[in-house]
Amino acid sequence: PSKEYEVRRRAIYRGVQENWYFVQQELEKLKKSGRDQSAPEISNLIQEILNSGKEHEIILLNDIQELSNMENHDAWRSTESRALSDLVQRRLHYLQNPADCSKARKLICNLNKSCGYGCQIHHAAYCFIMAYATKRTLILNSKKWRYHRGGWEKVFLPLSDTCTDPSGLDRSNWPGTNETQVIELPIVDMLSPRPPFLPLAIPRDLSERMIRLHGDPQVWWIGQFMKYLLRYQPETQKMLDQAKEKMKFESPVVGVHVRRTDKVGTEAAFHSIDEYMLYVADFFDKLEIKEKIKVRRVYLASDDPSVLPEAKKKYPEYEFLGDVSIAKGAAVATRYTDSSLRGILVDIHMLAHSDHLVCTFSSQVCRLAYEIMQTLHPDASSKFKSLDDIYYYGGQGPHQQIAMYSHKAHRPGEISIEVGDVLGIAGNHWDGYSKGTNERTKQSGLYPSFKAVDKYNIIDFPPYSEVAV
């Protein structure tokens, strides 16, 4: 299939979802106002429309998915996905294993950012992207890592077989010069000047292939850095394999991440388990069109130990996998210990290996699982439901969309857009509308999500012509 075909097919898939978000939310509002006016027959009618509409949406989405598998497109997708990923992985291997480490240009990254596991891994991946873009070997300093005193290499393979020595002739803080042998990176929040290749930028030399292959090339790109970074040590792999076997983790399974404790009220809102389960049910209802489902299995991860027992009690028709003791170890007081590492490794691994993710993208735990998920399928960009944010990367450059259709504001809060307008997107309200700023008119407000698409930030990265295509 051509790039245009693939882009259009995925736009239709998203369009059907957005259309349903819109109609559903409008009908819910109507139902509520009907109830206020004590007109139960109207409420009932609306509920019937909601039920049929939902069924219709699920069947349409299934049809579009089937379309993506036709005429051997699936086979092409997996071959291309493997080829493209191999190319990037070979480039990273080349970058990390210079012929002479004593002469290599290096970038030093200190893992000890004082934040959680997801945040630290994102910090390491930001460093790695900076290293790739400046063609410097990444040296990760992980001494006294808060999640493992022994350091990174006790959990993951070292980033290099030949070059882990941070020394060099001269050393400077970012940005230094091209000739400075060793450059030390600050955390992204302190980075100055900010280069153009920070996420969500994608490399020009691979962009056409990435856009053709993947529904969100920006995340695919991040995923490639995660793929290299997070290569497990055999011990870690064994631990995860055993955990998987013990809990009988099997497809089909939906991964649910419920982030509570210190996050609620500060960086995110509270969401009840019922909100997550609505989308879990959707996933299985859609699957049920194609196959008989014996068990509706859910892997439930949380930092709140009360969630798993509550879910089991409330949803006896589901089988919940998960471990309350992991959730206990994930609570704020015990979080940053060697023993909590096992829990977060297991949880993120299982979430990433689920068939679908339901979570809040405000949490780095779930964003990380989603990024890893992209390395396990040719295109897993639609295998998620976030209850709050759209995907983002901490410290990212501007995320923009481009208007494909014009829109005249006709409700309070809406903004007008014209074809080609650039919109800085702040979020999707999952009710048919996104919020953003029209860079032409400077107006901020709501616009119909289906009328705009992501504007990719395509940037020149080094071509790595030494590495065979």
Q: Give CA–CA dist 66/45, Å, rounded.
A: 32
Q: Which is nearer to ligand GDP, 23 or 243 (CB)?
A: 243
- Site size with ligand GDP, rule: CB under 6 A: 21
Question: Which residues between 348 and 367 bind ligand GDP (CB under 6 A)?
Answer: 363-365
Query: Closer CB to ligand GDP, residue 92 or residue 307?
Result: 307
Interaction of residue 446 with ligand GDP, rule CB under 6 A: no
**Shortest reach from residue 133's CB to ligand GDP, in Å:** 24
Q: Minimal distance in Å, beta carbon 345 to ligand GDP?
A: 8
Q: Least distance (Å) from ligand GDP to the CB of residue 350? A: 10
Q: Compute the least distance from the CB of residue 382 to ligand GDP, in Å.
A: 22
Q: What is the 3-state secondary structure (H, E, C) of the chain?
A: CCHHHHHHHHHHHHHHHHHHHHHHHHHHHHHHHHHHCCCHHHHHHHHHHHHHHHHHHHHHHHHHHHHHHHHHHHHHHHHHHHHHHHHHHHHHHHHHCCCCCCCCCEEEEECCCCCCHHHHHHHHHHHHHHHHHHCCEEEEECCCECCECCCHHHCECCCCCCCCCCCCCCEEECCCCCCCCEEECCCHHHCCCCCCCCCCCEEHHHHHHHHHHCCCHHHHHHHHHHHHHCCECHHHHHHHHHHHHHCCCCCCEEEEEECCHHHECCCECCCCHHHHHHHHHHHHHHHHCCCCCCCEEEEEEECCCCHHHHHHHHCCCEEEECCHHHHHHHCHHHCCCHHHHHHHHHHHHHHHCCCEEEECCCCHHHHHHHHHHHCCCCCCCCCEEECCCCCCCCCCCCCEEEECCCECCCCCCECCECCCCEEEEEEECCCCEEEEEECCCCCEEEEEHHHEEEECCEECCCCCCCCCC
- Tell the smallest beta-carbon distance from residue 330 to ligand GDP (Å): 3
* Position 115 contacts ligand GDP (CB under 6 A): yes
Q: Determine if 257 is a binding residue for ligand GDP (CB under 6 A).
A: yes
Per-residue binding string, ligand GDP, 194-213, x by CB under 6 A, is --------------------
From the list 98, 116, 168, 176, which residue makes contact with ligand GDP (rule: CB under 6 A)? 116
For the bound state, the minimum distance from the C-beta of residue 322 to ligand GDP, rounded and expressed in Å, comes to 9
Tell me: does residue 118 bind ligand GDP (CB under 6 A).
yes
**429 token code pair:** 């309200």
Question: Least distance in Å: CB of 380 to ligand GDP?
Answer: 20
Nearer CB in complex with ligand GDP: 344/423: 344
Residue 34 dihedral angles phi and psi, to the nearest 5°: -60, -40
Tokens matching residue 26: 């409008």
Q: Does 390 bind ligand GDP (CB under 6 A)?
A: no
Identify which of 405, 438, 42, 372 has the alpha carbon closest to the alpha carbon of residue 228.
Answer: 372
Determine the interface stretch with ligand GDP among 16-24, 51-59, 113-121, 385-393 (rule: CB under 6 A).
113-121
* Nearest approach, Cβ of residue 115 and ligand GDP (Å): 5
Is residue 263 involved in binding ligand GDP (CB under 6 A)? yes
Q: How far is the CB of 456 from ligand GDP (least distance, A)?
A: 25
Contact between 123 and ligand GDP per CB under 6 A: no
Helix axes of 73-96 and 217-229: crossing angle, nearest 10 degrees:
50
**Interface characters, 264-303, with ligand GDP (x: CB under 6 A):** -------------------------------------xxx
Contacts of 78 (CB under 8 A, 6+ apart): 378
324-343 residues in contact with ligand GDP (CB under 6 A) are: 326, 330, 335, 340, 343
Q: Least distance in Å: CB of 117 to ligand GDP?
A: 3
Q: Identify which of residues 84 and 352 has a Cβ nearer to ligand GDP in the complex.
A: 352
With CB atoms as reference, the residue minimizing the distance to ligand GDP is: 116
**240 makes contact with ligand GDP (CB under 6 A):** no
- Residue 138: CB minimum distance to ligand GDP, A: 21
Q: Give the residue with the Cβ less far from ligand GDP, 337 or 443.
A: 337
Instruction: List residues near ligand GDP by CB under 6 A.
Output: 115-119, 257, 259, 263, 301-303, 326, 330, 335, 340, 343-344, 347, 363-365
